[in-house]
């Protein structure tokens, strides 16, 4: 190893099914870009040779590693893990490449929600094959093939096993709770979402993995996978942003600063700063748009993709003709400071 910073490593505790397959991994405090010298010391103690690898740890190995770390929180984590009988692991990511294991996949999702990286800055190829479809219960992750027996055992004790969801992704707040955010309904923010300081996600808001609200901002609509909404922008009720999943095209969207996508509106093109889309209007890349100059004179008709990434645009539908128009947005959208305060 060189003296350059390493990509990431983390100590985790997780859940396996009865076949010994990983269902999920929780990393309390990932180390992002630690010094390679530290990785070399840790690696030498457990036989790590380099590369992207996950190594299971027993209590003896954890006891040996604890004195090697100077960070008190990391020492606390290792001490707690030493006394646990849950599967424990250390995951190393030396190179950002296609995913190869479930523990590595969970570490990359943690890095997003811990704000170490932003959407589309990591290689997440292969993610779906490495995430099991899991029953997320009040007793943790349960393999679907084992769910019936565990439900039955709970009933025999006079209990009900609460199954909150059946999904490949858990909710973020069971793993990471970023500082300075408000989330009205935690199940609507997946692990791997990036929520910046000052972000509010209301009850019907949704933030997918590898998606970001940089904050401050109000999210009442949907941020799809791969989409980033910059600081000062709001996403109105039931508004939507087109991602690249489920046949959503290949345009990676960024919504610039101080934008407003109004209620029931949406966009399939990137927006620059200070843009507004009126309520109920969905702008797709192929939408025909009449460009209007500052004197309200028609200039030309273009497909919306030709306006992608430009700033100070106001998209509205002409109530008389039904034509979608793009005008200069002369009003800056300022956020309500009281709504976005987190004190």
Q: How far apart are CA 237 and CA 245, in angstroms?
A: 22
In a 3-state reduction of DSSP, which class is residue 111? helix
Q: How far apart are CA 211 and CA 221, in angstroms?
A: 13
Of 53, 143, 130, 37, residue with least CA distance to 94: 53
Buried b / exposed e along 319-342 (16+ C-beta atoms within 10 A): eeeeebbbbebeeebebeeeebee
Q: Is 24 a catalytic residue?
A: no
Q: How far apart are CA 77 and CA 81, in angstroms?
A: 6
Contact in structure between 239 and 263 (CB atoms under 8 Å): yes
**Of 220, 294, 306, 337, which is the active-site residue?**
220
Please list the residues that pair with 301 across neighbouring strands.
290
Of 214, 215, 213, 209, residue with least CA distance to 239: 213
* Catalytic residue numbers, as ranges: 220
């Amino acid at each position: 190893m060189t003296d350059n910073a390493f990509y990431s490593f983390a100590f985790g505790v997780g859940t396996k099914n009865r076949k010994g397959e990983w269902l999920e991994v929780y990393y309390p405090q990932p180390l992002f870009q630690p010094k390679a010298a530290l990785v070399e010391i840790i690696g030498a103690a457990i036989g790590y040779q380099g590369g992207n690898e996950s190594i299971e740890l027993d209590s003896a190995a954890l006891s040996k590693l604890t004195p090697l770390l100077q960070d008190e929180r990391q020492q606390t984590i290792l001490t707690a893990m030493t006394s646990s009988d849950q599967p424990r692991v250390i995951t190393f990511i030396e190179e950002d490449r296609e995913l190869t294991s479930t523990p590595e996949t969970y570490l990359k999702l943690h890095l997003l929600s811990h704000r170490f990286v932003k959407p589309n800055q990591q290689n997440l190829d292969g993610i779906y094959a490495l995430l099991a479809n899991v029953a997320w219960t009040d007793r943790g992750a349960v393999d679907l093939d084992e769910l019936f027996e565990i439900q039955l055992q709970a009933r025999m004790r006079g209990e009900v096993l609460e199954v909150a969801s059946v999904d490949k992704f858990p909710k973020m707040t069971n793993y990471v709770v970023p500082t300075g955010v408000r989330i009205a309904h935690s199940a609507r923010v997946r692990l791997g979402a990036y929520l910046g300081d000052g972000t509010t996600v209301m009850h019907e808001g949704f933030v997918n993995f590898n998606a970001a609200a940089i904050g401050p901002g109000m999210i009442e609509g949907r941020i799809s996978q791969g989409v980033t909404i910059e600081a000062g922008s709001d996403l109105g009720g039931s508004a939507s942003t087109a991602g690249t999943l489920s046949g959503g095209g290949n345009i990676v969207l960024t919504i610039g600063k101080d934008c407003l996508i109004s209620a029931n509106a949406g966009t399939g093109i990137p927006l620059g700063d200070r843009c507004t889309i009126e309520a109920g209007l969905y702008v797709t890349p192929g939408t025909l748009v009449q460009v209007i100059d500052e004197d309200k004179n028609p200039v030309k008709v273009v497909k919306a993709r030709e306006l992608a990434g430009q700033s100070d645009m106001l998209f509205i539908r002409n109530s008389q003709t039904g034509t979608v128009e793009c005008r200069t947005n002369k009003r800056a959208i300022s956020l309500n400071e009281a709504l976005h305060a987190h004190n």
